[in-house]
Amino acid sequence: MSKLTLNLAYLYPKLLNIYGDRGNVLTLSFRCQVRGIDLNISTINPGDTLQGKDFDMFFIGGGQDQQQILVSNDLQTKKDELIELIENNVVFLSICGGYQLLGKYYKASDGSEIPGIEALDLYTVAGSKRMIGNVLCKEIESGNTIVGFENHSGKTYLGPLAKPFAKVIRGGGNNGEDGFEGVRYKNVFGTYLHGSLLPKNPYLTDKLIELALERKGLTMPEVSLNDTFEEIAHKKAERLRY
């Protein structure tokens, strides 16, 4: 049987990588490798051309407003291609600042509007108070707990075409008002959870890998992993105070 491979585009790693978000790519790579899946990682920086159809997965991390402006300018040149891929069920994990830029816009605290790519029915407005702390939420689709750390001033509001990713149990989430965290649209997962997110949420890592394989007509190899440390980290994070 030919080797299973997945191709991941890591968007703007030099600009959007606060709070260790690159740990998500390392985790995807590890949990593919132990299953005998080759995860080929390509970094995409401003000015790079995107051969979008070559990729099964995308990752974009979080960043400060200034970096988001630089990324937004380049994203506009890739907007149509990314929207087409998202509509074609590509797996896309987006964190915080990167998540915000998949929507219509992020209105920063100085009132300036940073355009998103309008792939998702949502918009973000900087609030007067940053939401910072350890978040505990429950994925709506599975009911599984998801843990992570948030630090954002942006308050994200979902439109009717975007469904929330999770229900907040402890923390701010999208906007500190509606009790929801993140977004799920087709195979796009948007979330405010840094940490990085995936090392402490092995269930979600495996879900992303499985969705990417399924999109290629492939099934997840039956390999049981020893998740002792991941579960200890997850349970400990569940008990952290905000």
Residues forming the site for ligand GLN (CB under 6 A): 18, 62-65, 68, 96-97, 151-154
Q: Which is nearer to ligand GLN, 91 or 108 (CB)?
A: 108
- Phi and psi, residue 168, nearest 5°: -75, 130
Q: Which of the residues 32, 96, 137, 152 is marked catalytic? A: 96
Question: CB-based burial of residue 57 (10 Å sphere; 0-12 exposed, 13-18 middle, 19+ buried)?
Answer: buried
Q: Which is nearer to ligand GLN, 52 or 148 (CB)?
A: 148
DSSP string, 38-103: EEEEEEE-TT----GGG-SEEEE----HHHHHHHHHHHTTTHHHHHHHHHTT-EEEEETHHHHTTS
Q: Which is nearer to ligand GLN, 31 or 194 (CB)?
A: 194
Rounded to a whole number of angstroms, the minimum distance from the CB of residue 18 to ligand GLN is 6
User: Is residue 152 flagged as an active site residue?
Assistant: no
Closest-by-Cβ residue to ligand GLN is 62
The set of residues, in sequence order, having a beta carbon less than 8 Å from that of 94 and lying 6+ positions away, is 58, 59, 60, 101, 102, 188, 189, 190, 191
Rounded to a whole number of angstroms, the minimum distance from the CB of residue 29 to ligand GLN is 22
Q: Which of the residues 32, 137, 194, 234 is marked catalytic? A: 194
Q: Which is nearer to ligand GLN, 144 or 153 (CB)?
A: 153
User: Is residue 96 flagged as an active site residue?
Assistant: yes
Catalytic residue numbers read: 96, 194
